[in-house]
Structure 1
Amino acid sequence: MICVSMPKGALIRAVLSGLIGEKEASEIEIIANDAQIFDDGKWDIFYRHPTSGFGHDKSQAILPYRRLPNPPTIFFFGDGVSDISAARHADVLFVKQKPNGENDLSTYCTRENIKHLLFQDFSQAIPIVASLVKGEKTVKDVVG
């Protein structure tokens, strides 16, 4: 049996490198779970925060940036229950619309008055992120 242990974020980094280039991708910090992939296609996930109830408590990944003297703008993309812990900590929260219309994250955000933007795919989100990064719009312009 062959077993490959992937460094954290290796798959994400590979995709980013293909999209924006290796140098640019290397400048992006990726926070992800670890994974082990087996030759039969199965995989095991090693969660960053296994005792949190979320597996990867994404709020724990965001909060250190919130505590910086000049925190960066935090963009967060989510689609479900595992993203709830981080939802209120993002400056711009994108919530993926699911084909069946059910979306626990969107329901939670609406109930808790957490501003969020619905999107179906990244082609809808990229112009919004770009306008903020370029300084053409502010977070308030985008999320209200």
Structure 2
Amino acid sequence: MSAGQEPSAPRSVLHYPPIHEDAQFVVLSDWDGTITDKDSNDYIVDNLGFGFDKRRELNLECLSGRMSFRDSFRQMLESVHHPFEECKEELKKNIKLDPGFVNFYSWCKSQNIPFVIVSSGMAPNIRGVLSTLLPGPDAENIEIIANEVEFTDPEKKGDTWEIVYRHPESGFGHDKSQAILPYRKLAHKPTLFFCGDGVSDLSAAKHADLLFAKVMANGHSDLKTFCEREKIPHVPFRDFNKVLERVKEVVEGKSVEQVLKEEGN
């Protein structure tokens, strides 16, 4: 059974890896602004596209439900008129990892807990950034479920390009819930942890056993705002040291309900 193959699932045009059927715990995480210190897509649009003000306007349209994430994100990327490799190099130079992430990922590996990046960004950009920041072969081996990119220039060099959405008919573009829902069908359901920060995580937010909502240094978090509005239990976190602390507690026997109670839910 593979993720993304639910009977009512949106059509996926990209391959899904098999799910981890024998795992007792699974961690899934958004990439941009969650694992990274800033949103790489926002960075590209703000610096190489139409800029912060227009981008934030579209973010708020999406958060309010007046516009789909798929359509708003496509508009943002279409404002970027730079070759794909130039964009990727800009990200490699300017995007850093959350200060607690490498330690958390290493701990997950040591405990044989699957860790999956579930992103509405583009996989080549994610691997590019990881290639400069993760030790050894981890950048190539870490599991990523994301969108892809298509080079549209005649030479296929990436002078012009466009995003290839995993779920082109979904308003999310990539419906992240489809990476989580297949685990709910298993006879022995694992405890599912999900970490996110923004509007692209809304489809997955309701399906995790323990949801972590990233809060930026300025206190901003679209996902936290959504969870508070919709009364969705969650754990706010500033960095992955907090995630490690709480996930460890659950792995060692503390109930998810107790963790959420301690966090004020």
What's the TM-score once normalised by structure 1's chain length?
0.72
User: Is the 1:35–1:43 Cα contact (8 Å) retained in structure 2?
Assistant: yes
Residue number in structure 2 paired with 1:127: 245
Q: What are the superposed Cα offsets for residues 43-93 of structure 1, whole Å, 9 maximum, x if unpaired? A: 754221122111211112211111111111111111111111111100111
1:53–1:124 Cα change, 3 Å: same
Unaligned runs of 5+ in 2: 1-82, 89-121, 152-156
User: Is the 2:123–2:147 Cα contact (8 Å) retained in structure 1?
Assistant: no
1:43–1:120 Cα change, 3 Å: farther
User: Is the 1:8–1:35 Cα contact (8 Å) retained in structure 2?
Assistant: no
| Superposed counterparts of 1:82-121, under 5 Å | 82-121=200-239
User: Is the 2:84–2:161 Cα contact (8 Å) retained in structure 1?
Assistant: no
Pair 1:139-2:256 in alignment: yes
Residue number in structure 1 paired with 2:164: 46
Unaligned runs of 5+ in 1: none
Q: Percent identity of the aligned residues?
A: 50
- Alpha-carbon distance between aligned partners in 2 of 1:71 and 1:80, rounded to the nearest angstrom: 26
Q: What are the superposed Cα offsets for residues 99-131 of structure 1, whole Å, 9 maximum, x if unpaired? A: 333322112111211110111111221121122
Residue number in structure 2 paired with 1:34: 148
> Which structure's relative contact order is higher, taking Cα pairs within 8 Å and 6+ residues apart?
2
User: Is the 2:165–2:173 Cα contact (8 Å) retained in structure 1?
Assistant: yes
| Superposed counterparts of 1:58-97, under 5 Å | 58-97=176-215
Bigger mean CA offset, 110-119 vs 49-58: 49-58
Query: Residue 84 of structure 1 aligns to a residue in which SS?
Result: helix
Number of residue equivalences: 138
What's the TM-score once normalised by structure 2's chain length?
0.43
1:36–1:123 Cα change, 3 Å: farther
Query: Residue 180 of structure 2 aligns to a residue in which SS?
Result: helix
